[in-house]
Structure 1
Amino acid sequence: MLIEEKYFSQDKNYLLKSVQAFSKEALLDQWLQEILNAYHLLHNPMGLVDDFIIELREKIHLGKELLVDNYDVLAAIYRHDHADNQLEIMWDGRSHMEAYDSDWKEMYELWIAKLSQIKEIQRPIIKYVVSESGVNHQFLKQSIRRSLLAHFGLRMRSQTLYKVSA
């Protein structure tokens, strides 16, 4: 599965795109777990297990729907920030795919640890998970996207990333 969108004019690292697409499902699950952990640290530091916490643990996988498109944006931000690595020579014997996979996952883990602490990213997931239906999921997806882009100082118009000028 190859991500076809181009989020910026030089978005042509197809090997990195394919690595990111291949890892997507597992990394989305990891992001949901990180959000759950961040929620526990902030709102349940004693680790008490009540009906709400049990429900949240059982249904956290439903939040994946809100993160799928936002994962693609996060992946594009990484490709944008690491656009110079396409012609890199691998001196350690790894293939480009292995190096891209390792580097992407390392940065992704750092980013989701920080992003999961942001209440504008954490709360929409929790709200969507516990309410299941009746919530405008498009609004929540966009809310997460706005927070994600603001964190990196970016804007998006017509599926194109732009750096916000200070």
Structure 2
Amino acid sequence: MIQKYFSLDKNYILEKAQLDQEQQLIVYLIDFAKKFYLTQFNPLGLEDDTVKRIIAHKTEYTDRLEEFYRNLAGVYRYKHGNNQLEFLFDGADHYEKYTVDWVKAYEEWLVDFCIRPNFLKAVLELTVFYPEGRKAELAESRMKAFINQHFELKIYKHKGIVKMKVA
């Protein structure tokens, strides 16, 4: 990680906390989406081929959701970030506090996201049904478009995050 500024900048500490939690939180997203789908769209517990695949799925590969996770982490830093460390009077260090804050916000966002069928469908396509080729790219694009629409932000690789202009 290339640091351009003061090493104790809040955003660097927050980014490190987010990257350290990446694997664990992507697995949480996949498991949460599967449980959410089963409770919302199959409350009677009927087993068809789709439900059987969801139940049988073991979360092993998370690489298809890494870009989504990193974009979401970037949005969180954009919305909650500044470079000023706050005073902590409870004895915790900043890394621990930012980790707890990030995990809490992430879990709350997932509840809101999973209510939207397009998001849930994209997560299941990328993980449980794991399409190859073009179909996977479309699901990944839907995930990025979801972030753009939900937060009214546009994410660029080189320019960073920019607030969308609403016409």
TM, length-normalised to structure 1:
0.83
Q: Which moved more, 1:29-38 or 1:84-93?
A: 84-93
Displacement of 1:156 = 2.0
Give the Cα–Cα distance (whole angstroms) in 1 for the partners of residues 137 and 3 of structure 2: 19
The equivalent of 1:58 in structure 2 is 56
Displacement of 1:29 = 0.7
Give the Cα–Cα distance (whole angstroms) in 2 for the partners of residues 5 and 50 of structure 1: 51
* Residues 12-31 of structure 1: pairs in structure 2 closer than 5 A: 13-31=11-29
The equivalent of 2:136 in structure 1 is 137
Displacement of 1:63 = 7.0
User: CA, structure 1 residues 136+104, in 2 after alignment: closer, same or farther (shift >3 Å)?
Assistant: same
Q: Deviations over 1:119-164 (max 9, x none)?
A: 2211123234326435521221111110122111111234521112
The one-letter code sitting in structure 2 at the alignment partner of 1:73 is N
Give the Cα–Cα distance (whole angstroms) in 2 for the partners of residues 26 and 5 of structure 1: 25
User: CA, structure 1 residues 125+5, in 2 after alignment: closer, same or farther (shift >3 Å)?
Assistant: farther
User: CA, structure 1 residues 131+24, in 2 after alignment: closer, same or farther (shift >3 Å)?
Assistant: closer
Displacement of 1:53 = 1.6
* Residues 108-119 of structure 1: pairs in structure 2 closer than 5 A: 108-119=106-117
Conserved? CA contact 2:154–2:161, under 8 Å: yes
Q: CA RMSD in A?
A: 2.6
Q: Which moved more, 1:84-93 or 1:45-54?
A: 45-54
* Residues 76-95 of structure 1: pairs in structure 2 closer than 5 A: 76-84=74-82, 86-95=84-93
User: Which of 34, 37, 41 lines up with 1:36 in the alignment?
Assistant: 34
Give the Cα–Cα distance (whole angstroms) in 1 for the partners of residues 3 and 26 of structure 2: 19
Unaligned runs of 5+ in 1: none
Q: Is it true that 1:148 corresponds to 2:147 in the alignment?
A: yes
Give the Cα–Cα distance (whole angstroms) in 2 for the partners of residues 5 and 77 of structure 1: 19
Tell me which stretches of 4 or more aligned residues in structure 1 moved more than 4 Å.
Answer: none
Paired positions, count = 160
User: CA, structure 1 residues 127+13, in 2 after alignment: closer, same or farther (shift >3 Å)?
Assistant: closer
Unaligned runs of 5+ in 2: none
Conserved? CA contact 2:10–2:83, under 8 Å: no
Q: Which moved more, 1:101-110 or 1:46-55?
A: 46-55
User: CA, structure 1 residues 98+154, in 2 after alignment: closer, same or farther (shift >3 Å)?
Assistant: same
Q: Which moved more, 1:151-160 or 1:20-29?
A: 151-160
